[in-house]
Amino acid sequence: MTSTTEILRETAARLLASGAVEMVIGFRQGTIPMMNEPCFVRKPAEAGLLVWDSHCGINLANYVTDRKEKKIGIVAKGCDSRNLVTHILENKIRREQLVVIGVPCRGMADKRKIAMKCPGEILRVHETETAITAEGEGFTRTFEKADVLQHNCSLCTHRNPVIHDELAGEPVEEQQGVDRYADVRAVEAMSPEQRWKYFEDLLAPCIRCYACRNACPLCYCPTCFVDESRPQWVGKGQDPVDVRTFHFLRAYHCAGRCTDCGACERACPVGINMRLFTKKLEKDCLELFGWEAGLSLEVRPALDHYRPNDPNDFIR
Amino acid sequence: MRMLLIDRRAWQEGLKRAAGQYGLIGPVKEKEFHSFRPLKPGEMPDLAFQNSRLSPKHVVYPQTEPMFAYTLDEAREDRHLLKEVRREIPPRAVVGIRPCDAKAFVLVRLNFDTPDVQDPYWLRAYEATTFIGLGCNAPCSSCFCTTAGCGPFHEEGLDLLLADLGEAFAAKVLTPKGEAFARTAGWTAEAPAGAQSAFQERARAAEGRITSFVQTDHLKSIPVNDLYNAPFWEEVSFSCINCGTCTYSCPTCWCFDIQDETRGKSGVRLRLWDSCMYPLFTLHGSGHNPRGTKLHRVRQRFMHKLKYFVEKYDRGIQCVGCGRCVRLCPVNIDIRRVCNMMNGFAVSGEACAIP
C-alpha cells in the first residue's frame, strides 16, 4: 500500500522538478505529538519533508492568501479545497496560480479529546487507517479514529476535495445522514436569558489572542475591525462586552463563507468552541438560501449575489 | 537553610490558618485545564497538575489593569485630570507555583524595576505576594528549563519550595517572607535528615527527567546583524498565523498597550497585555509600520528573547523553558528549534539545514 505521505512526496517532487510549481505548501512532521507544522518546499530534494496523518488540521488555504508566485502546489483536504474555492471567488488567489494536490480525508484527530482520555502526558502517537494509539509513561491507549475526531470532522459531508489537479489517494466515501446542527438547535431552543448566559460562559476563558481569527482562511482583512484605531470600534480589554463583540462580529464576517474546517476551534489555546457561532450562520445560509460555501467556482456565494427569489420574510 | 516537614493534615490546616492573613491563590482545575485563581474560603489548591495551561503572570500583572480614572464632566473642577486608581493589594500567597513561573517574575522585574523607573502597579503586586513553589517531580516532555537558566526545583524568585514526598511535603524556607508564611501556617516541624535527603533526591531525579534542551552558549557573541539578517527567518515564520498565543501564555512576555476607555463622561486609562505578533503593536501614527510583515514580527519575538535580552541584561535568555508556547502554538512553531538554529548560526556562519 502506498501511503498518502508517499504519494504527496512523489507528487511534490515531480511538480517541483518539472517546474510545474515554484513551491509546494503542505505539512511537515511536528516537534510534539499530534502537531504538524505547515511548511513549504521549493526543491524536489526537500519533498521528503512532507507528511500526512490525522494531525494536519490547520487549514492550508490560509497560506496562499495574496501570494505572488505564478504557480503554487498546495495540499488540500476537503475543507481546505472548499476554502480555496472561496479564496478564488473572493480574488485572494487565482485558480491558475494553484496546482491543488487533493487529499481525500478521513477526518482529523482532536488532540484535546485524546489527551483527556489518557492518564498522563502523551509522548508518542501512531496510527493506522482506523485507529490512533497514544503512548506515555506506563500507558498505551488505542482509540477508534471515529471516536476521537475533531467535532467538525465527525460531521463533515465533504471529505473529498471539491477541486484538485492531483489526487493523493482514492476518494473516500462521504458520510451520509449526518445531523450537522444538533448543537445549534440546542442553543436556538434556549430562552434569550439562557442563551445569553450560555454565551457568557462559553466566552469567559477568552484571552483575546485572536488565534481563532488568524487560523481562519476567511480572515484576511488588511486591518481587522478589532485593530482599527481611527475610529476604534471595540475595546481591547477583558470586558465581556468587548469579548462578545469580537466573537459575534468575527462570526458574522464569516457568514456564507465558513466551511466549518474547525481551524478556529483547533487553534484556541483555552478550548473555546466558537464554531457554534459560525455554524448557526452556516445553518441559516443552508436553510434560507440552500447554500453551502466553497462547493463551486461557478456560482456566486449567497450573500454577494441578489436573486429575485431570495427569501425576504424578515422584511416587515 | 531551614527545611520543614509538612504532612497532609498540617498542609490543609496550615493553609486554612494562613488564609486568615493572606489571600491565597492556587491552581484549580476548571473544565479541562488548570489555572491560577484566588481560592475560595476552605478551597484547597489542586496540585495534581504538570503545569497550568496559561502562566500565572496575571497574578502580578493582570491582562487588563486600570491605571487612572478621569472625568469629562465640564461642571467638575477635576475634569480632564488623570487620577491614579490604586489597587490595594493585601498580603497574598501563590501556593503551588512552578519554579519556572516564579523565576519568570525575576526576569520580568528587570523591565519593571530599573534604577530610572519603577512601575508601581507591577511592584506593589509583586511585593505583596509570597511565592510558595512546588518542585516538579514529573516535568513535561516539552519542558526545557534546565538549559533555560531554570530547573524543576529552581529556587530563584521563590520564598518557599516544596517537594512532594507523597505522604508529606518537605519545604525549604528560602526567604524571610517564606519564613513568615510558614509561621502563620503553623508549619514548624523541622524535616528529619531522611526527608531532607528525599528532597534532594526528588530534585536530582526531576532534573534527570528533563529530556528537552536548548543551546544558548553562542547567542551572546553572534553579531546582532548577522542573526537579524540570517536566511532562516522566512522558513521559521512561514507557518506563523500572528496570533498572540505564544506571548500571552508566556510567563516572561511583558509588553503592554495603554488604552483610554470612556463611557459617558467618565473614563479609565487601562494597561493591557500587548503582543509583538500583532501588526498594531508597532503601527505608527503616520500609518507606517516598521514591522509590517509577519517575518518581521516573528523575528522580533525570537530576537528579543534570545538575543536583545541576552545582550542587554547579561542574564541568559528571556525564557524559563516552561514549554507553554511549544505546546500551545496552533501551528507548532517551536522556540527550542529556533533557539538552536540561532545559536548554531554563529558556529557555521551560514544558514542551518532545515532539520
Over residues A57-102, the pLDDT tens digits come to 999 999 999 999 999 999 999 999 999 999 999 999 999 999 999 9
Q: Do A209 and B242 touch (CB under 8 A)?
A: no
Mean residue pLDDT across chain A:
96
Whether residues A209 and B239 touch (CB distance < 8 A) is answered with no
Q: What is the average pLDDT across B107-118?
A: 97
Residue of A nearest to B240 (CA): A38
| C-beta of residue A206 within 8 angstroms of C-beta of residue A272 | yes
pLDDT band at A1 (very low <50, low <70, confident <90, very high): very low
Nearest CA in chain A to B332: A37
Using pLDDT thresholds of 50, 70 and 90, give the confidence band for residue A313. Answer: confident
What residue in B sits closest to A230 (Cα-Cα)? B285
Residue B138: closest C-alpha in chain A: A121
CB-based contact A266:A109 (threshold 8 Å): no
d(CA A210, CA B244): 7
Check CB contact under 8 Å for B336 and A31.
yes
Asked if B326 lies within 8 A of A239 by C-beta distance, the reply is no
Q: Domain A1-107+158-173 maps to which CATH number in 3.40.50, 1.10.10, 3.30.470, 3.30.565? A: 3.40.50
Closest alpha carbon to B253 in B50, B14, B63: B63
**Alpha-carbon distance A236 to nearest alpha carbon in chain B (angstroms):** 8
| CB contact (8 A) between residue A210 and residue B337 | no
Cα dihedral B126→B127→B128→B132 (10° resolution): 70
Chain A residues with CB-CB distance to B242 below 8 A: 214
Q: Which is more confident, B301 or B347?
A: B301
Q: Measure CB to CB from residue B272 to each of A38, A211, A236 and give the nearest one.
A: A236
Chain B neighbors of A238, CB-CB under 8 A: 63-64
Sheet of A131-136: strands edge to edge?
A124-127, A131-136, A139-144
Q: Where are the domains of chain A?
A: 1-107+158-173, 180-305
Kindly determine whether residue B331 and residue A58, on different chains, have CB atoms separated by under 8 Å.
yes
pLDDT, position B347? 52
pLDDT band at A157 (very low <50, low <70, confident <90, very high): very high
Residues of chain B with C-beta less than 8 angstroms from the C-beta of A39: 235, 238-239
Answer whether B141 sits within 8 Å of A123, measured CB to CB: yes
Chain B interface with A: residues with Cβ < 8 Å = 31-33, 50, 53-54, 63-64, 138, 140-142, 235, 238-239, 241-245, 248-249, 257, 259, 261, 270, 272, 275, 278-280, 283, 326-334, 336-337, 354
DSSP state of B142: T
pLDDT tier at A309, thresholds 50, 70, 90? confident
pLDDT at B351 over 70: no
Q: Which residue of A has its CA nearest to B30?
A: A205
Of A35, A223, A235, the CB nearest to B261: A235
Contact B241 A269 (CB under 8 A): no
d(CA A276, CA A254): 12
Residues in chain B closer than 8 A to A213 (CB atoms)? 243
Examine residue A311 and say whether the peptide bond preceding it is cis (omega within 30 degrees of 0).
no
DSSP class of residue B57?
Answer: G
Asked whether B75 and B92 are in contact (CB, 8 A), the reply is no
CB contacts < 8 A (A, B): 109
pLDDT per residue as tens digits for the range B214-239: 999 999 999 999 999 999 999 999 99
CA nearest B236 in A: which residue?
A39
Euclidean distance between CA atoms B102 and B59, whole angstroms: 11
Asked if B239's CB is within 8 angstroms of A36's CB, the reply is no
Cα distances from A125 to residues A32, A142, A166, B76, in angstroms, run 10, 10, 29, 66
**pLDDT surpasses 50 at B242:** yes
Looking at residue B233, its pLDDT comes to 97
A270 touches chain B (CB under 8 A): yes
- Is there a contact between A57 and A266 (Cβ–Cβ < 8 Å)? yes
Question: Between chains, do A267 and B245 touch, taking CB under 8 Å as contact?
Answer: yes
CB atoms within 10 A of CB A29: 16
Average pLDDT for B158-164: 98
Give, in order, the Cα–Cα distances in Å from A100 to each of A165, A218, B229.
Answer: 5, 18, 33
B24 beta partners: B93
Phi, psi values for residue B217, rounded to 5°: -65, -25
**Each residue's pLDDT tens digit, B130-140:** 999 999 999 99
B326: which chain A residues are within 8 Å (Cβ-Cβ)? 31-32
Instruction: Give the residues across from B269 on adjacent strands.
Output: B68, B260
Q: What's the confidence (pLDDT) of residue B346?
A: 63
| Pair B270, B258: CB distance under 8 Å | yes
Does the distance separating the beta carbons of B280 and A123 come in below 8 Å?
no
Inform me whether the C-beta atom of residue A30 falls under 8 Å from chain B C-beta atoms.
Answer: yes
Contact B245 A209 (CB under 8 A): yes
Inform me whether the C-beta atom of residue A150 falls under 8 Å from chain B C-beta atoms. no
Query: How many alpha carbons fall within 13 Å on the CB side of residue B174?
Result: 20
With cell 465640564, the residue in question is B74
Residues B259, A39: C-beta atoms closer than 8 Å? no
Averaged over B194-213, what is the pLDDT?
96
Q: Which of A32, A209, A236 sits opposite B332 (nearest CB)?
A: A32
Whether the complex's predicted ipTM surpasses the cut of 0.90: yes
Interface of A with B in 213-232 (CB under 8 A): 213-215, 223, 227, 229
**Radius of gyration for chain A, computed over Cα atoms and rounded to the nearest angstrom:** 20
Asked if A235's CB is within 8 angstroms of B327's CB, the reply is: no
Chain B contact set for A214 (CB, 8 A): 241-243
Tens digit of each residue's pLDDT (9 = 90 or more) over B273-284:
999 999 999 999
A237 Cβ under 8 Å from any chain B Cβ: yes
Q: What is the rounded average pLDDT of the residues A219-237?
A: 91
CA distance B328 to chain A (A): 6
Contact A237 B64 (CB under 8 A): yes
Q: How far apart are CA B124 and CA B88, in angstroms?
A: 9
Kindly list the residues from chain B whose CB atom is less than 8 angstroms away from the CB atom of residue A43: none
From the list A32, A63, A267, the residue facing B142 with the nearest CB is A32
Q: Distance, in angstroms, between A232 CA and closest chain B CA?
A: 10
The predicted structure's pLDDT at residue A2? 64
What is the pLDDT confidence band of residue B88, given thresholds at 50, 70 and 90? confident
Rounded to 10 degrees, what is the CA torsion of A101, A104, A107, A111? -30
**CA–CA separation, A151 and A132 (whole Å):** 16
Euclidean distance between CA atoms B278 and B66, whole angstroms: 22
* Closest by Cβ to A215, choosing from B275, B326, B330: B330
Q: Per mean pLDDT, which range of A139-148, A307-316, B215-224 is the poorest?
A: A307-316
Nearest CA to B111 out of B159, B174, B61, B55 is that of B61
The packing angle between helices B335-348 and B294-303, to 10°, is 80
**Strands A72-76 vs A23-29: parallel, antiparallel or unpaired:** parallel
- Compare CB distances from A121 to B140, B242, B326 and report the shortest one's residue: B140
pLDDT at residue B355 is higher than 50:
no
pLDDT of B295 over the 70 cut: yes
Answer whether residue B164 shows pLDDT above 70.
yes
